[in-house]
């Protein structure tokens, strides 16, 4: 039986739209609800406990809205909260770390992989754990670059500063550490993937988790019999901060107009929250 309930997707800001876009491309009949947690952007520098609370609050909100699965379109939130979400929610939850790790291992020849992400993602060691769980012989090097996240979010992905940062990252991974594959461990980074590829010049394969996460989402929906057949799917954009800010950022980054609605999602301990308490917007 077809299931036309929406897919829930969330991130701290606009970066998760890279994942949402690939889901739309791969699964054009799926309706979606996207939540951008602008009130708490960015997640990267925050303590993992705080990110976990926010992720659980948003997860329960989306579950209350009737989604059939939830995609955590944020590496930091995946690292901090995926296990908790999987244990506390009744719908399947998909993160971006494991799909990216699987893709990197498939494309790596020497098993030396670099990961660039936010402070929170690197601190959590999520990619290192995921990669080594799949292949204990892999060598993993990691580097945090929160400034690159900020530049992309500001619409300055093509700036000289962004290019300089990317050149330094690639040089560190490829020349100094001999990585043959680099994982872009932040959902903002697919927007600068062409720059990474140009700087790498074929010396390393650049992997982003957006496309692999969309593929995993399709596989989960297929396996569980949740695929939609809706000829006219709907797409909602909800934000916990200023909707006009989100709309402008989406326009700068994607050249698209997005109609966003501002909501409030209470920040409470996951065990203390009910679905009704979370729905305040």
CA angle 31, 36, 39 (to 5 degrees): 155
Q: How far apart are CA 240 and CA 231, in angstroms?
A: 30
Dist CA 106 CA 82 (whole Å): 23
Q: CA-to-CA distance for 174 and 192, rounded, in angstroms?
A: 18
179 given a catalytic annotation: no
Cis previous bond, 276, omega within 30: no
Residue with tokens 């939130």: 77
Cα angle, residue 119 at apex, residues 38 and 206 outer, rounded to 5°: 95
The one catalytic residue in 56, 74, 145, 179 is 74
Of 56, 145, 179, 186, which residue is the catalytic one? 186
Catalytic residues: 74, 186
């Amino acid at each position: 039986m077809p299931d036309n309930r929406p897919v829930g997707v969330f991130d701290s800001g606009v970066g998760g739209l890279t994942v949402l876009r690939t889901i739309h491309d791969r699964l054009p009949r799926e309706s979606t609800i996207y939540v951008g947690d602008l009130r708490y952007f960015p997640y990267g520098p925050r303590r993992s406990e705080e990110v976990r609370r926010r992720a659980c609050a948003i997860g329960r909100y989306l579950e209350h809205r009737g989604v059939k699965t939830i995609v955590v379109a944020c590496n930091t939130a995946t690292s901090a909260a995926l296990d908790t979400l999987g244990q506390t929610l009744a719908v399947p939850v998909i993160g971006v770390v494991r799909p990216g790790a699987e893709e990197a291992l498939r494309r790596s020849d020497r098993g030396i992989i670099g990961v660039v992400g936010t402070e929170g993602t690197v601190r959590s060691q999520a990619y290192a754990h995921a990669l080594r769980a799949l292949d204990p012989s892999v060598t993993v090097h990691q580097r945090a670059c929160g400034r690159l996240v900020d530049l992309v979010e500001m619409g300055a992905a093509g700036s000289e500063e962004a290019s300089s940062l990317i050149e330094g990252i690639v040089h560190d991974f490829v020349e100094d550490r001999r990585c043959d594959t680099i994982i872009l461990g932040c959902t903002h980074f697919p927007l600068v993937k062409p720059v990474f590829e140009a700087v790498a010049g074929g010396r390393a394969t650049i992997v982003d988790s957006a496309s692999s996460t969309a593929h995993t989402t399709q596989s989960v929906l297929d396996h569980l019999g949740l695929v939609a057949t809706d000829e006219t799917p709907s797409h909602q954009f909800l934000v916990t901060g200023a909707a006009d800010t989100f709309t402008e950022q989406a326009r700068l980054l994607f050249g698209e107009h997005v109609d966003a609605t501002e909501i409030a999602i209470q920040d409470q301990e996951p065990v203390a929250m009910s679905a009704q308490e979370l729905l305040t917007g």
